[in-house]
Amino acid sequence: MFIDCLTIFPEFFVSPLQEGIVRRALLDGKIEIGVHNIREYATDRHSMTDDRPFGGGEGMVMKPEPLSRCLHAARKEGADSRVILLSPVGEQFDQKMAERLASHEQLILVCGRYEGVDERFRQQYVDEEISIGDYVLTGGELAALVVLDAVIRLLPGVLGCGESATNDSFSCGLLKHRQYTRPRVFENMAVPEVLLSGDHAAVARHRLVESVVLTLQRRPDLLAGMRFTPAERKTLRQAGVLDQVDTAIRTLAQEKSHEG
């Protein structure tokens, strides 16, 4: 996959791309990342990328021409590319969106600064606008790095077999169970006995219950539309949480039907 970032602060992308899994994906050639300095595509004497807003008011707006020139330079002709603007009014980013974006050949992440980008650039070139959450940043760069990180780890061969994405929080619709490592006792707290038993089926049942209870407590909204197999239902019944789960799922379904 090609990932290209359009920014007036290319240095933002240096160290986040030089660590851990993203670094390895780059070295293995699984991804190619281009960081393009919008300023290099300004044509005036002072390389201006911003200008005063029409209609007056505070702050500056990013000029459309340097952005479009930069975009044309970044775009791989003939590739299935997606142009994304990071902005607080975008659609909220989530794991499902990361999975969808991971299927494109090229992502072009446009990072705004100042008060935002000229509306005509957005209309003409932006395929989708993405928000990573309900807060305002000083620019789109950190949001672009979040999207980039979440997408890269989903690409084939990027995670080793010991770090598979299939057991992550959200991948199966539930939050991931909590983890333990050595020592067996830390500050008087022991590791749950079942995890030491070597009984893989019992461990799997324990983790399912842990996941479901954590999701009920923290993110019951994630249980909407959730379906459990008869074996899973049996495990949840034995753990005494099945009724609570069914009630939560039913309540969410009712809430949804009242919305529509």
Binding site for ligand 9WO (CB under 6 A): 86-89, 112-117, 131-133, 136-140, 143
The answer to whether the bond into 183 is cis (omega within 30° of 0) is yes
Q: What is the smallest separation between the CB atom of 140 and ligand 9WO, expressed in angstroms?
A: 4
Q: What is the smallest separation between the CB atom of 2 and ligand 9WO, expressed in angstroms?
A: 21
**CA terminus-to-terminus distance, the chain:** 38
**Among 209, 176, 175, which Cα is nearest to 192's?**
209
Q: What is the smallest separation between the CB atom of 61 and ligand 9WO, expressed in angstroms?
A: 9
Q: Which is nearer to ligand 9WO, 22 or 67 (CB)?
A: 67
Q: What is the smallest separation between the CB atom of 106 and ligand 9WO, expressed in angstroms?
A: 20
Q: Which is nearer to ligand 9WO, 136 or 189 (CB)?
A: 136
Q: Which is nearer to ligand 9WO, 8 or 175 (CB)?
A: 8
Q: Which is nearer to ligand 9WO, 1 or 117 (CB)?
A: 117
Q: Annotated active-site positions, please?
A: 88, 115, 153, 168
Strand partners, 107: 3, 82
| Closest chain position to ligand 9WO (CB) | 112
